[in-house]
Chains A and B, each alone.
Chain A
């Protein structure tokens, strides 16, 4: 168990170190997030639609789209110089490889969200301070589920042409449940409703996370089998 986790951490650390040294992907993702947030401001009539009504949508469409862009990175990285073959030949379990990629993707998306949230608050003047704790919990809950599916699918599409486009087409139907759940809970939180009112949605998000993290862990070994 400990061994398996430390192997996963080794893979994640390698990915993150690579990311930290080049910074292309993370900077692009952050700029993308900022740009989408600004676009949202001009994509509505500010005199007709109050920001607070649109706020949950803005937040979640931005986060999910930025995360989808980020997900491509995980396995594309390993295509160069056949690095994936090297990883598979190393004494590394397939499960650890998946968890390593998942952890790296989660850190990557978390960085985007950590920068995106204050920008969102700044641009749209949304009062998040009183609900910051629950809001962060909801963001984490929704992110884990769709990043788990996205990491699995990015392994499915890397060898196809138009991999970036295919990943989005495959992944969007899977984004629906976490996206609806996250938007609903966020809207209630920003509207000053207690968290207990969103219990149904929170259960759905948690069930989705458990189901798809388990499923992806079990299925990933089949995607790299020779």
Chain B
């Protein structure tokens, strides 16, 4: 089976499972007392947010290894991860306001975590723009690695600075020092959804990686011909 097909298969399985998770979220998970049905978007929003940041981290990590090993596979992975991350950041930025309108009474607010996701999104766009602006493959890979590493290091600074600025956002209820305060059934749904998003990330990255590989091969063929 070709790489692109494997990626497509993983993505399709992921999408199927996502539907299943939502059946569980809507029918078998209790409705949150204060937020009501609006809270259901949480199972999309939070896993997407986690993967949007993880993807940036992996772009930076791939960049570090690329600069030492000069392996084109790492660069292809970084490109794929950045594009998948852009999609996840876009999901967060879309689902956030949809939830914010009924709960906060406004589509947009300069809340800390909203702002950091927005800047993460800008970071991804800048990264992809830089890649698009450089023609030479080796140079593009090196420059992208440098920017990716800087991006990875910027994320905690953005978090810290916008957090110090002010926050309206619901406080973390799962990843915090004390025990998770999310009811068990909701936590299970969230973890299932996180698993599904992991699968989706892998599916997206594998497909995008196969695309980059195909593109390179075609360029090489046309260079030889």
Contacts and interface: CB of A to CB of B under 8 A. Distances in A.
Interface of A: 149, 152-153, 156-157, 159-162, 166, 169-170, 172-174, 176-177, 180-181, 184, 200-201, 204, 207-208, 211-212, 215-216, 219, 222-223, 225
B64 to A, nearest CB: 10
Contacts of A211: 153, 157
Interface in B130-175: 130, 133-134, 139, 142-143, 145-147, 149-150, 153-154, 157-158, 160-162, 164-165
Interface of B: 67, 119, 122-123, 125-126, 129-130, 133-134, 139, 142-143, 145-147, 149-150, 153-154, 157-158, 160-162, 164-165
Contacts of B125: 169
A208 B157 contact: yes
Contact of A176 (B129, B139, B161): B161
B157 A156 contact: no
Contacts of B150: 149, 152, 174, 212, 215-216, 219
Contacts of B146: 152, 156, 219, 222-223
Nearest to A208: B157
Contact of A177 (B123, B130, B142, B160): B160
Contact of B161 (A157, A204, A219): A204
Across chains A and B, which 6 residue pairs bring their CB atoms closest together, nearest first?
A160-B133, A177-B161, A177-B157, A170-B126, A180-B161, A219-B146
16 contacts: A152-B150, A156-B143, A160-B130, A170-B130, A173-B119, A173-B126, A177-B157, A180-B161, A180-B162, A204-B157, A204-B161, A204-B164, A207-B157, A212-B150, A216-B150, A222-B67
Nearest to B144: A156
A172 B122 CA distance: 9
Contact of A215 (B145, B153, B161): B153
A219 B154 CA distance: 15
A160 B134 contact: yes
User: Which of A180, A200, A204: most chain B Cβ within 10 A?
Assistant: A180
